[in-house]
Amino acid sequence: MSKTTKETAKNATRTIHRTIQAIEGSGLDKAPTGIAGFDEITFGGLPRNRPTLVCGGPGSGKTLFGLEFLARGITEHGEPGVFVSFEETAEELAKNVKSLGLDLPDLIARKKMVIDTLRVDREEYLETGDYDLSGLFIRVGCAIDSIGAKRIVLDSMEALFSGLTDHMRLRSEIHRLFLWLKDQGVTAIVTGESLESSGKTREGLEEFISDCVVYLDHRVNDTISTRRLRITKYRGSFHGTNEYPFMIDESGICVLPVTSLNLIYKATTDRMSTGIASLDGMLGGKGYYRGSSVLVTGTAGSGKTSVGAHFIHAASRRGEKCLMWSFEESEHQIVRNMRSIGIDLEPSIKAGSLKILTSRPLIFGLEMHLGVIHKEINAFDPRCICIDPISNFTGAGTVSETKVMLTRLVDLTKSKGITTIMTYLIRGGMPAETTDAGVSSLMDTWIVLSDPEFNGERNRILSVLKSRGMPHSNQLREMLLTSHGVELILPYLGPSGAVTGAARKSVEASEKALAVAQQIKIMKKKRDFESSRDLIEAKIKMMRSRLQSQEQSLALEVSQAKTRDDVKTEERSRMGATRAPAPDQKAQEL
């Protein structure tokens, strides 16, 4: 990316932030609902002292939304409320929401809430004359004044106007109702039923005169039910416009927004061990970045769970809280299976540093899975998470829905600084470097496991396809599951490529035998050389001895010859002296 392009992107981001801040700083006062997640996507709650329309089909959660809005307003913000029901009594409402943690009788006893049930019978107003809301206004106004209410819920529009056939009068009274609510200075919710075909209310007027419109939807796709919430209108305020999944559990409504919309979570340089020393070595010798997301993909039996269990085991033994979700095995089965490779998870479970949660992926929809994970994270406050496998989520929704859900999950864990390892099952025939849900781009580290068939056997291979922000090995490693854990060893690299398993052992044995044979050959040559050298040295010694003997013989002969010459010379001299005449004899002869 060029410098100009980067600067343009930065300016665009700054413009968006300034626009949001300008809108939110426009002075619009908001009333927090207290509903988990909803205040985040509305940036504060519902418009204060204005009416909001909450519409949806049967069973979508409209009544519960209104009751929780009132109850949370009382308990968390000290704002009393009035609930006007045209269908259910106070006793019925109290029983319906008791299992969700809302104690309506207590709020009523403390004069913080009023529940007024109004039965609208068509025959009564047909006999007495035209339909008029003046009596309703007086009655509801008295209820508001009796406790100083700041919030009010009317449930529902259809029950209130069920018998009115004059559409012009109906539209007039609806408009009058909304104007009256604004004049009372209360934050109001009016519930209404929407048509499945269009998603709009029966009259189609309420959406136009409401300051805020919240649409609740409960749909079923491929036998899997999902709940969705969408804010279709919010005057004077910036708000999330997407469809957001929400769930209803024992704590009430929980909306699951996309967290970290601006990708502002922090990135640390702290590292933590993978639990496998040789894998740490492949990741620069220090392991994963803390707070990062790790994807481990592979076919069935390639060792994905084992890699994840090593990480969780190492972290929990250090005293860090860890959560592990399994969608294929029970807790006891996981503990038993991991013991076979030397990983004992039970001590960490007993110590409270590890919690294993198991369920079938199709037991409920994606938003419920995400909601449960969100809830467990908030309750347990883990530092590390393992989800095994996330590929099972594709059975609970479409590919695009699964990717959105996993994006929200990754954003959630990163925003909380949780190191997360997720496994993904690669179906047979798929390339090893791909996933159905396309989530690999969200991950900081991607570890690919495979078990190719070669020479009649399968051997596990591990490689690090990517690891952002750190040097990492690009080499393949043969992965062995041993009684003392996962071991990674270098495969044999030959002319035909990497060789693993029995083929590697065969090649190593052949190389060893060849090395031994070569050593033997060298030792034989060495012995032959030494023998030749000894033989030659013996011959040299013998020749030197012979030469020395000849030299001594020659010296002896020379000495003897000299001695003979000396003797001869001496003998000649003596003989010459004997033959010479004496001087007196010579004289006499003369």
The answer to the question of residue 528 being in a domain is no
pLDDT at 431 (0 to 100): 65
The answer to the question of residue 584 being in a domain is no
What is the percentage of the chain residues whose pLDDT exceeds 70? 81
The answer to the question of residue 368 being in a domain is yes
pLDDT at 123 (0 to 100): 54
For 112, the domain range is 21-255
More confident residue, 220 or 9: 220
Q: What CATH number corresponds to the domain at position 41?
A: 3.40.50.300
The answer to the question of residue 108 being in a domain is yes
The C-alpha atoms of residue 298 and residue 463 are separated, in whole angstroms, by 11
pLDDT, tens digit, 9 for 90 and up, residues 339-393: 999 999 999 999 999 999 998 877 777 777 887 888 889 889 999 999 998 888 8
How sure is the predictor about 504, in pLDDT bands with cuts at 50, 70 and 90? low
- Which domain-ending residue is among 205, 222, 255? 255
Residues 408 and 476 in one domain: yes
pLDDT at 9 (0 to 100): 38
Cα–Cα separations (whole angstroms), residue 157 to 54, 70, 153, 575, 580: 10, 18, 11, 176, 183
Tally the domains of the chain.
Answer: 3
The answer to the question of residue 137 being in a domain is yes
The answer to the question of residue 565 being in a domain is no
Residues 342 and 234 in one domain: no
pLDDT at 314 (0 to 100): 95
Residues 377 and 435 in one domain: yes
Residues 104 and 184 in one domain: yes
pLDDT at 339 (0 to 100): 94
For 557-588, give the DSSP string.
Answer: HHHHHHHHHHHHHHHHHHHHHHHSPPHHHHHH
Please say if the pLDDT value at position 6 is more than 50: no
The beta-strand segments (E) located in 303-350 are: 322-326
Residue 44 burial (CB count, 10 A) = 17
Residues 384 and 451 in one domain: yes
Residues 173 and 242 in one domain: yes
The answer to the question of residue 534 being in a domain is no
| DSSP β-ladder status, 354-358 and 271-272 | unpaired
pLDDT at 115 (0 to 100): 92
The C-alpha atoms of residue 303 and residue 283 are separated, in whole angstroms, by 19
Residues 446 and 518 in one domain: no
pLDDT, tens digit, 9 for 90 and up, residues 521-566: 898 888 888 888 888 988 888 888 888 888 888 888 888 888 888 8
Residues 246 and 379 in one domain: no
Look over the chain and give the mean of its residue pLDDT values, rounded to a whole number: 82
pLDDT at 15 (0 to 100): 45
Residues 128 and 77 in one domain: yes
The answer to the question of residue 581 being in a domain is no
Tokens 């006062």 identify what position? Answer: 29
- Do 477 and 490 meet the contact criterion of CB atoms below 8 Å apart? yes
| DSSP β-ladder status, 322-326 and 354-358 | parallel
- Which domain-ending residue is among 471, 490, 509? 490
More confident residue, 584 or 400: 400
**Amino acid identity at 578:** T
The beta-strand segments (E) located in 259-328 are: 271-272, 288-289, 293-298, 322-326
- Assign residue 43 a region (left: φ > 0; alpha: ψ between -120 and 50; beta: otherwise): left
Residues 275 and 385 in one domain: yes
Residues 429 and 306 in one domain: yes
Q: What is the pTM of this model?
A: 0.67
- Do 357 and 327 meet the contact criterion of CB atoms below 8 Å apart? no
- Which domain-ending residue is among 222, 255, 288? 255
**Amino acid identity at 43:** F
Residues 393 and 435 in one domain: yes
pLDDT at 74 (0 to 100): 94
